[in-house]
Structure 1
Amino acid sequence: MLAPAKPANEPKRLEALARLRILHSEPDAVFDELVSYVIHALGVAGAGICLVAEDTVWFKAAEMPLMQAGSRDESFCAHLVAARETMLEVNDATLDPRFADHPAVLHAGLRFYAGMAVILRGGLRIGSVFVVDTQPRSLNSEQRLILQSLAQIAAGEIERQYPPLG
């Protein structure tokens, strides 16, 4: 498994995440509903809203038996935070050298991942809204638009509910 790179703006990104005071916050019905909606709208096995901290990935909301919060180095979401693209789609993780030996692929049967970056107003990526499945697949343009819209809603809701300190 290839560890994700860190973006060039990593110090600013981590500072923004810390100022939001969202890590390890209480569960929230709005984020839980976004996750439930995307599971049903896209017909996938699981979904979540992840936040990428310095060494860990934390889920603000998640419904998924396939993945767990944990090390940033083992995170699909961390690859997206460091990417130039706003979306990462892995159609079959067993065929992708970045993820083929990932524990969720080897032991939990994860095959598909698609995530859309959660981007704050200043352009900083703090995490993603993502979906996972046990079957290889790809999203169509309408499904990608749904994922993009939900990532934008999540970013707006984070900024509304967790205004930064200072």
Structure 2
Amino acid sequence: MTYDPTGHLLLTPVDREAPLRVRRLRELGMGERPDPEFDAFATKLATVTGAPYSMVNFIDENRQFFAGLHTPEGTHSGDLSIKAAATGGVSRFMARDHGYCPHVVVRRKALVLEDVCDYPRFAGNPVVDEIGIRSYLGAPLIDRTGTALGTICVVDTEPRPWGRAGLETIKSLAAELVEQIHRREDGRL
């Protein structure tokens, strides 16, 4: 749990479902290694939304793991929160208190931030200063057991007018990926 030292705002939400999520992800064999199918889905996210960065993100108690990742450079090394700003490389790991996906998982609702700086609660997030994130669009991946496994999201270093169309698109794509996960679990993929 991270607080803004000046405004005393809770920046990272408490996630009571994390242990259940971790167990479910292990059952599914996901969340610990890159997955070419999720990389392809992340590329689809970027193409559909026109965003430079997109992720299929699974979250445990301490960190986020991008099992699917699309970047403009195609680099996926280092620690996103530290090395991305220094080297331009993007990692598949990020601290749980960085970014907006932990909010989406806990809220179990899509989140549209056209300009993160318009929202004091989100403007103080480390990804703003360390990586330069200015806009976010994400939706939860809620499976048939009711578990919020993680998120899909797209981000940009510029404000983006996602609007209602962006919200509907990200929700639709999240449902599509959940169906893909179910087919995989059922052995149909």
TM range (shorter): 0.7 to 0.9
| SS of match in other structure, 2:97 | helix
Instruction: Choose from 24, 34, 41 the match for 1:16.
Output: 24
Instruction: Please tell me the residue identity of whatever aligns with 2:172.
Output: S
State the TM-score, normalized to the length of structure 1: 0.83
State the TM-score, normalized to the length of structure 2: 0.74
Shift of 1:91: 2.0
Within a 5 Å distance, the mapping from 1:119-158 to structure 2 comes to 119-158=142-181
| SS of match in other structure, 1:24 | coil
After superposition, give the CA deviation of every residue in 1:73-131 in whole Å (9 maximum; x if it has no partner).
Answer: 223111111115x2011222223233323332103221001101111012110111101
Structure 2: gaps spanning 5 or more residues: 5-10, 73-83, 85-89
Instruction: Please tell me the residue identity of whatever aligns with 1:83.
Output: R
Residue 91 (structure 2) pairs with residue 82 (structure 1) = no
Q: Which residue of 2 aligns with 1:58?
A: 65
After superposition, give the CA deviation of every residue in 1:9-43 in whole Å (9 maximum; x if it has no partner).
Answer: 44433321222221223422x32222112212212
Q: Which residue of 2 aligns with 1:6?
A: 15
**C-alpha separation between the residues in 2 aligned to 1:72 and 1:131?**
17
**C-alpha separation between the residues in 1 aligned to 2:19 and 2:39?**
29
Percent of aligned positions that are identical: 28
**C-alpha separation between the residues in 2 aligned to 1:61 and 1:150?**
14
Q: Give the length in aligned residue pairs.
A: 160
| SS of match in other structure, 2:120 | coil
Q: Could you say if the C-alpha distance between residues 102 and 141 of structure 1 is closer, same or farther in structure 2, counting changes exceeding 3 Å? A: closer
Q: Which residue of 2 aligns with 1:44?
A: 51
Q: Which has the higher contact order (CA 8 A, sep 6+)?
A: 1
Within a 5 Å distance, the mapping from 1:105-116 to structure 2 comes to 105-116=128-139
